[in-house]
Amino acid sequence: MRYAVLPQAGVVKIEEKPIPPVEDDKVLINVKMCGICGTDTLIYKGIFHVNFPYSPGHEYSGVVVDAGKKVCSVKVGDRVTVNPNHECGLCSYCRSGLPNHCENLKKPGIKSNGGFAEYVSVPEKIVYRIPDNISFKEATLIEPVSCVLHMVDEAGMKAGDLVVIIGGGTMGLISLLLCKNYGARTVILSEPVEYKRALAKQLGADLTCDPAKESLSSLVKEVDRYGADVVLDNVGSSNTIYEGYKCLRKKGRLTISGLNSDKTDIPIPSQDIVKNELTVKGVFLNPNTIIRAIGLTASGVYPLDYLITHEFELSEIDRAFDISMKGEAVKVLVRMNGQE
């Protein structure tokens, strides 16, 4: 079978190896589609550290073609997606209901291939059936939707809140769709790329901001002199974190999901955090939100297909990564065997 591998940062290749074996508790999936995530591009750039060679891809969907003898929740022929984060279930964090902080968390791409492959063999516990009305394309967005659900939950967003979203990529636009549906009174999205701002307006943003040309915090204060109730930062740079902080009203909540660099400083005055009772919180992964994400996707409430801007064959994976890193796309998908 063919699969993609990063032998080192900045290089992606297609290689061949045998179809992985199916152990008693594992499921063999014929992958149909896999999306390029921001984390994949950070790994490619060498910003997010992994052990090379590394096989990327964790936003994928496909069909079960074999299952181990202990598998009971899915069967051959089922259409599925995965939650790529495989917690141990035994450590203190897992037993406290915090699987995203598992001390033994496993991810694809280290001892097995990731989702940019014709086949993957993964534990049953991370495999989820999807209904027939979810396409394989839409199913690649279930994992991102689940992560955004966690972010919005942790931000404590309420109906009537003024919400600022920083970043108009996949996560930012999903955030926009969720917040509008949850009853935000105003959603302002900040994004330097013009076509992403235009897409945000199409998807319901009340206002958009080009941070290269105008002050986001000034725009927010024009809308409401007290500032925003919630800021969702999907970028995670020092500049965006600081600008997000300046948007907040007293008791405001700044939630950061963007992974930018391990050297990123948080330039927020501690006295302001204390005196204004601000909440500054990071969020990581998608604990216990996959089922909700599948239900929301199946509902058709969210036009997720608008986020899919480019598609490539597996043989074109280098072009797919190139487009993703140039900011010329929202969500880039890779097809296996020309199938959808």
* pLDDT tens-place string over residues 132-141: 999 999 999 9
Given the structure tokens 């948080």, which residue do they identify?
266
Please check whether the domain covering 147-282 is classified as CATH 3.40.50.720. Answer: yes
Task: Give the 3-state secondary structure percentages of the chain, helix then strand then coil, rounded to 5.
Answer: 30, 25, 40
Alpha helix positions (H), the chain: 38-45, 92-95, 136-139, 142-155, 170-182, 194-202, 216-223, 238-247, 270-275, 290-299, 317-325
Instruction: Output the pLDDT for position 112.
Output: 65
pLDDT > 80? residue 25: yes
Instruction: Output the pLDDT for position 267.
Output: 85
| Extents of the domains making up the chain | 2-129+303-335, 147-282
Dihedral angle sign, alpha carbons of residues 149, 153, 158, 163: negative
Mean of pLDDT over the chain: 94
- Helix, strand, or coil here: 45? helix
pLDDT > 60? residue 180: yes
Provide mean pLDDT across the span 60-82: 98
Instruction: Output the pLDDT for position 158.
Output: 96
Provide mean pLDDT across the span 44-69: 93
Measured between alpha carbons, how far is 74 from 77 in angstroms, rounded to an integer?
9
Q: Compute φ and ψ for 24, nearest 5 degrees.
A: -55, -35
* Structure letter (DSSP) for residue 284: -
pLDDT > 90? residue 326: no
Listed range (41-45, 263-267, 301-305, 321-325) with the worst mean pLDDT: 263-267
CB 210, CB 187: distance < 8 Å: no
**Angstrom distances, CA of residue 282 to CA of 128, 150, 168, 180, 215:** 27, 11, 19, 22, 24
pLDDT > 60? residue 111: no
Half-sphere exposure of 170 toward its Cβ, with a 13 Å CA cutoff? 26
Instruction: Output the pLDDT for position 110.
Output: 53
Measured between alpha carbons, how far is 251 from 236 in angstroms, rounded to an integer?
21
pTM: 0.95
Listed range (15-24, 47-56, 229-238) with the worst mean pLDDT: 47-56
pLDDT > 90? residue 263: no
Identify the band that residue 49 occupies on the pLDDT scale cut at 50, 70 and 90: confident
Provide mean pLDDT across the span 327-335: 92
Identify the band that residue 108 occupies on the pLDDT scale cut at 50, 70 and 90: low
pLDDT > 80? residue 312: yes
Provide mean pLDDT across the span 209-221: 98
For 293-327, the DSSP string reads: HHHHHHHT-S-GGGGEEEEEEGGGHHHHHHHHHTT
Higher pLDDT, 112 or 132: 132
* CATH number of the 2-129+303-335 domain: 3.90.180.10
pLDDT > 90? residue 205: yes
Identify the band that residue 186 occupies on the pLDDT scale cut at 50, 70 and 90: very high
Q: For Cα atoms 127, 314, 298, give the angle at the middle one, nearest 5 degrees.
A: 40
